[in-house]
């Protein structure tokens, strides 16, 4: 079965000696009935002609941010929304630098900055340019923004030098794109459903005061977004958060731990539940109906445990999800405590999170976690943007779901 047929790919061709290889890639895609649109940067025209690209792609070549022939549409928006996937090749050191600081000075960079689709960068440059600290730091930044890299590989350069920086072959790119869509098609056909909890909860003492924590909900939002982007029907149940709603993602807003538990129960059954929310462990035994006054001689605040949502999901035999994923926010003995939590809660995966650090975790844009899987696999995701962390966790969850289904069959 051809899983590329009718797929829409936007190919952005940049200025580099490897630009000529884009013609072979276009030919491979057209053989598989791929709908392809192309963008040529100004410098790309020094290596391939618009006529060659148009002849092979059977379509218009876009090259101008201000298209006087089509003033009713904004190409940088319409092209990015049209595509199922965006590929950029050869991705030069110059383009990597521009994207890392959010420059949008031509059609190509404006499309990439405005895009809401997966973007695959295919680097090609001199070995010294690739290994330079500036380029490597820029690449790390782009990975944190959610860009995907394919290559480069080591080999002989056009300049006569040898080492990493050579663009992967069109055939290799083609095969990787086939794998990309194959996985997405499987996930789509499986019609997986996920519940993700995020943010803090509030346990009210009186009508205006409450017990809560510093959680922003960012990590949960990013995991939900990554799962949703990969074709998993995702419901995000969020405690109080200042984060903006995500288009295309169903968000259920709650305040207390009890409200969050009710929402989780409402949306069961699900294939996977990801508990990133920092749910309060305790709540007042009694909520005062009016504001507690200073002069009321209020000496004792009696607390009781809240319902444990992760524990409920892990041990709920009737509607237990295929995968239950928990977060373990620890200040000491990170791995040991997290493994114990996974066992006690009967979860399948636990994400160990060191909240004692000031540079990651609660209310920060960056995180560093260790993924502990009940299958025995453990791996660390080093400090990076929460968007990247979310994508890696989502990939692992989907791989586990597919593996579980394969084993059952």
Active-site amino acid positions: 159
Q: Which of 364, 102, 104, 67 has the alpha carbon at shortest distance from 219?
A: 364
* Distance from C-alpha of 307 to C-alpha of 282, rounded to nearest angstrom: 9
Distance separating alpha carbons of residues 104 and 241, to the nearest angstrom: 30
Please name the helix (run of DSSP H) or strand (run of DSSP E) that holds residue 89, with its range, or none: strand 85-91
List, in sequence order, the alpha helices (H) in 230-326. Answer: 257-267, 309-315
Report the candidate in 129, 128, 149 with the shortest Cα–Cα distance to residue 140: 149
Q: What is the distance between the alpha carbons of residues 102 and 252, in angstroms, rounded to a whole number?
A: 32
CA dihedral 50, 53, 54, 57 (to 10 degrees): -160
Distance (Å, rounded) from C-alpha 199 to C-alpha 57?
A: 46
Helix axes 21-31, 50-57, angle to 10 degrees: 10
Q: How far apart are CA 47 and CA 19, in angstroms?
A: 6
Asked if 40 and 111 touch (Cβ cutoff 8 Å), the reply is: no
- The strand pairing partners of 195, in sequence order, are 235, 273
């Amino acid at each position: 079965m051809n899983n590329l047929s009718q797929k829409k790919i936007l190919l952005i061709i940049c200025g580099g000696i490897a630009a000529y290889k884009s013609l072979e890639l276009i030919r491979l895609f057209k053989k598989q009935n791929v709908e392809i649109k192309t963008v040529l940067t100004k410098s790309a025209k020094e290596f391939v002609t618009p006529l060659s690209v148009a002849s092979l792609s059977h379509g218009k070549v876009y090259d101008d941010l201000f298209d006087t022939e089509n003033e009713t549409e904004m190409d940088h928006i319409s092209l990015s929304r049209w595509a199922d996937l965006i590929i950029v090749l050869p991705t030069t050191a110059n383009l990597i630098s521009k994207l890392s600081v959010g420059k949008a000075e031509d059609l190509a960079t404006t499309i990439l900055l405005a895009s809401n689709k997966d973007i695959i960068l295919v680097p090609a440059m001199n070995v010294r340019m690739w290994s330079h600290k500036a380029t490597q730091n820029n690449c790390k930044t782009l990975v944190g923004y959610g860009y995907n890299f394919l290559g480069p590989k080591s080999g002989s350069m056009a300049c006569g030098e040898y080492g990493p920086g050579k663009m992967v072959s069109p055939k290799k790119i083609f095969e990787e794109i086939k794998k990309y869509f194959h996985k997405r098609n499987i996930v789509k056909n499986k019609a997986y459903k996920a519940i993700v909890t995020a943010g803090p909860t509030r346990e009210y003492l009186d009508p205006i005061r409450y017990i809560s924590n510093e959680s922003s909900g960012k990590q949960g939002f990013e995991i939900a977004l990554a799962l949703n982007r990969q074709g998993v029907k995702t419901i995000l149940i969020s405690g109080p958060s200042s984060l903006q709603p995500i288009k295309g993602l169903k968000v259920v807003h709650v305040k207390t731990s009890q409200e969050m538990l009710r929402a989780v129960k409402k949306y069961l059954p699900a294939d996977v539940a990801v508990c990133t929310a920092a749910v309060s462990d305790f709540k007042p035994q009694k909520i005062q109906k009016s504001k507690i006054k200073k002069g009321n001689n209020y000496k004792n605040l009696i607390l009781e445990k809240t319902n444990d949502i992760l524990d409920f999901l892990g041990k709920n035999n009737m509607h237990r999800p295929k995968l239950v994923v928990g977060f373990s926010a620890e200040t000491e003995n990170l791995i040991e405590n997290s493994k114990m939590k996974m066992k006690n809660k009967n979860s399948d995966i636990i994400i160990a999170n060191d909240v004692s650090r000031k540079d990651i975790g609660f209310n920060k844009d960056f995180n560093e976690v260790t993924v502990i899987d009940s299958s025995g696999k453990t791996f660390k995701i080093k400090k990076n943007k929460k968007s990247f962390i979310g994508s890696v966790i989502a990939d692992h969850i989907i791989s586990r779901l597919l593996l579980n289904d394969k084993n059952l069959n």
